[in-house]
Structure 1
């Protein structure tokens, strides 16, 4: 962007412009640390994982059976004298002469001189020799895994920035790494605001609401690998909010609030942000979630995101803005949300010059075509719509109402990005 994000002020930003501006608030990523591989699930790699060995290390048998030294001249023999045995972890020593075989188990290194494995189910074994049934089914080189066919020594097995899941942890282990260098978990402070907000487990006042957003944020931040610092509920008191923001800025890499960022009479979070730091922007052309204050706090210039107060708006804005911000904090270029194309099954309401994110349910027909419908009522306080949804239907700011049969963009809802 040509403008500094702090020059955006009162402008109404598109979703893409707001996302780009938000990324500039992160001035440096979190620190790097080394952790035991067994504790690295969900962490982002800070360096490439390079293969110090071939995987597999040796050319080996893909099945139990015999490893044969294919004769130099046809015809293929049906009776093979046995030179010895090879087991996983115990290689056969020596050269196998042409026309001989070695009994072998899956994973055992292929003995020198052999090039083919015939599976046990095709064999009739004797004391000193083995007969092969259906020799016409045998091909040179079959049932053999070549050294390095998975990963070649010196190759990059996993790039820096990869988030370690179960498969990638197994891959790292296969290369012999007991520790990995990863980005520290971003420390994210969260709190809810409002005199009406009541902790679950306490009696609900007649004018109160239970604190939904803080627990939703704890879940979403945990899914993204963050270390959550829960600061609880703050009253509609500008001094209390200011103190909490100031303390959080010194302890954490990112501060998130929910509620208190609109133009309401008791919305003090934006005022506290402007006192302690600098407001970048606070108006985004999307529904749900238009009031969203962003900026930096204190001398540390800690990024701050003030999410809306309605539960669905919190989840939508988190997916569009906080997820890429957490990626940025961990040294990664922001990855756009996954988008697929689906056919609308019913009319969908939208408005030009505003992005609408509707909660949807998509299915796949027998031909592999995706179809989508809304979950029903789309109020930003209807949290059951997010529970039912498996996607967000993204209607861009250049898209008006959608009719059945028209194509729309959907973002599948996943917990791992």
Structure 2
């Protein structure tokens, strides 16, 4: 059988990083920055008040209490400023520019809040409550580098330096297609021999959770010709395709029957449990990657975490490789078949211990839903005693 590492290496060698494009800021969330972003001006661009209060000369309020006349009001956005002369105060709002002559701001809480005159009860130091120009960013300073994932804060600084559009690598568009004549839509009544489709919902959610745009296509039965028609229809909107089911060794395996003759998709046994039957390759004129995952719910999800999620990272322009692991101490004896790498569903606790969940079958979706981690048991290990340190993948 093919090793897990070799299968992932083949996938990452095939998958291409998406080309950058320019997007409006409203569409850039979750994308990967493909250019340096710098500020054309200092931030803040002018000295401004950090709070509501009174702009004063610090020397005038060194001996308190002191009462000063209020000669002006300055709101945020004001562009005509009256200078603060000796012995005077200007009422000022948060974000408003500091008027000439003032060298400190007295918070309103330290005063009687007067409007014609104000009594100040505490002295202030020079520069108190003033945000200096360039305190956050200097003009020309780089604020974000290529390869940065754009979250809310990153989107904010891009807007904050005056950019309306930005060059990014987009979120990969991934179409998920489940196969099987036994599948029906959730909400429909079950007839004998039928089950509700869960894989397409799980995998589409996993795509979105991994930074892609997931599109769930209608399920397909066991006819290879129908599967190919549906696949062709989906290629126009996909950067990659994920299928589940139809890849095993038995009869009625539409994905395998449809794609094997193309010669661009390989179906192999990977030395892992769950998820041994795997298919991967490219389809269509644009050589779109296709991940043909097994149909058992746990197998398909574990396969996604091991193979598809790293591929999505490469497509997004991010470092890609095997899932990161942490060390934990297992609280039960583990058993694993020789020659296969096992991924046991488990609960990882804050104290660094990990406990396998009850129900390790590849069909037991409820057990997977109660897990937050996968315990990794190497191929050459058949038993792990309780209390042993193990490597764990966080879900």
TM-score normalised according to structure 1 size: 0.80
Give SS of 2:353's match. Answer: strand
Instruction: Please say if residues 72 and 82 of structure 2, whose CA atoms lie closer than 8 Å, have aligned partners that are also in contact.
Output: no
CA distance in 2, matches of 1:349, 1:149: 58
Which range is displaced more, 295-304 or 165-174? 165-174
Q: Paired residue for 1:63?
A: 51
Structure 2, unpaired ranges of 5+: none
Matched, 1:370 2:357: no
Q: Paired residue for 1:171?
A: 157
1:127 to 1:172, Cα distance in 2 relative to 1, 3 A: closer
The RMSD of aligned alpha carbons is 3.2
Q: Paired residue for 1:116?
A: 104
Matched, 1:87 2:62: no
1:141 to 1:193, Cα distance in 2 relative to 1, 3 A: same
Instruction: Please say if residues 276 and 298 of structure 1, whose CA atoms lie closer than 8 Å, have aligned partners that are also in contact.
Output: no
CA distance in 2, matches of 1:191, 1:216: 11
Q: Paired residue for 2:8?
A: 19
CA distance in 2, matches of 1:371, 1:114: 59
Following superposition of structure 1 onto structure 2, how do residues 189-268 of structure 1 map, counting pairs within 5 Å?
Answer: 189-249=175-235, 252-268=238-254
The superposition leaves residues 53-111 of structure 1 with CA deviations (integer Å, 9 ceiling, x where unpaired) of 33323222222222333339xx9332363453332222562544566543322222223
Instruction: Please say if residues 49 and 156 of structure 1, whose CA atoms lie closer than 8 Å, have aligned partners that are also in contact.
Output: yes
Matched, 1:393 2:375: yes
CA distance in 2, matches of 1:290, 1:373: 24
Instruction: Please say if residues 246 and 254 of structure 2, whose CA atoms lie closer than 8 Å, have aligned partners that are also in contact.
Output: yes
CA distance in 2, matches of 1:122, 1:80: 12
CA distance in 2, matches of 1:253, 1:321: 16
Matched, 1:29 2:11: no
User: What is the CA-CA distance between 1:370 and the residue it aligns to?
Assistant: 3.5
CA distance in 1, matches of 2:384, 2:121: 65
Give SS of 1:53's match. Answer: coil
CA distance in 1, matches of 2:180, 2:115: 84
Q: Paired residue for 2:136?
A: 150
Instruction: Please say if residues 70 and 98 of structure 1, whose CA atoms lie closer than 8 Å, have aligned partners that are also in contact.
Output: no
Structure 1, unpaired ranges of 5+: 1-10
Instruction: Please say if residues 57 and 147 of structure 1, whose CA atoms lie closer than 8 Å, have aligned partners that are also in contact.
Output: yes
Give SS of 2:33's match. Answer: coil
CA distance in 1, matches of 2:234, 2:146: 29
User: What is the CA-CA distance between 1:409 and the residue it aligns to?
Assistant: 3.4
1:211 to 1:175, Cα distance in 2 relative to 1, 3 A: same
Instruction: Please say if residues 20 and 34 of structure 2, whose CA atoms lie closer than 8 Å, have aligned partners that are also in contact.
Output: no
User: What is the CA-CA distance between 1:201 and the residue it aligns to?
Assistant: 4.0
TM-score normalised according to structure 2 size: 0.84
Instruction: Please say if residues 361 and 389 of structure 1, whose CA atoms lie closer than 8 Å, have aligned partners that are also in contact.
Output: yes
Which range is displaced more, 397-406 or 163-172? 397-406
User: What is the CA-CA distance between 1:22 and the residue it aligns to?
Assistant: 0.6
The superposition leaves residues 189-234 of structure 1 with CA deviations (integer Å, 9 ceiling, x where unpaired) of 3322223333334443423322221222222233345444544233
Q: Paired residue for 1:3?
A: none
CA distance in 1, matches of 2:377, 2:241: 29
Q: Paired residue for 2:145?
A: 159
Q: Paired residue for 1:42?
A: 30
1:121 to 1:217, Cα distance in 2 relative to 1, 3 A: same
1:18 to 1:302, Cα distance in 2 relative to 1, 3 A: same
Which range is displaced more, 142-151 or 125-134? 125-134
1:98 to 1:388, Cα distance in 2 relative to 1, 3 A: farther
Instruction: Please say if residues 30 and 330 of structure 1, whose CA atoms lie closer than 8 Å, have aligned partners that are also in contact.
Output: no
Instruction: Please say if residues 42 and 165 of structure 1, whose CA atoms lie closer than 8 Å, have aligned partners that are also in contact.
Output: yes
Matched, 1:320 2:310: no
1:116 to 1:300, Cα distance in 2 relative to 1, 3 A: same
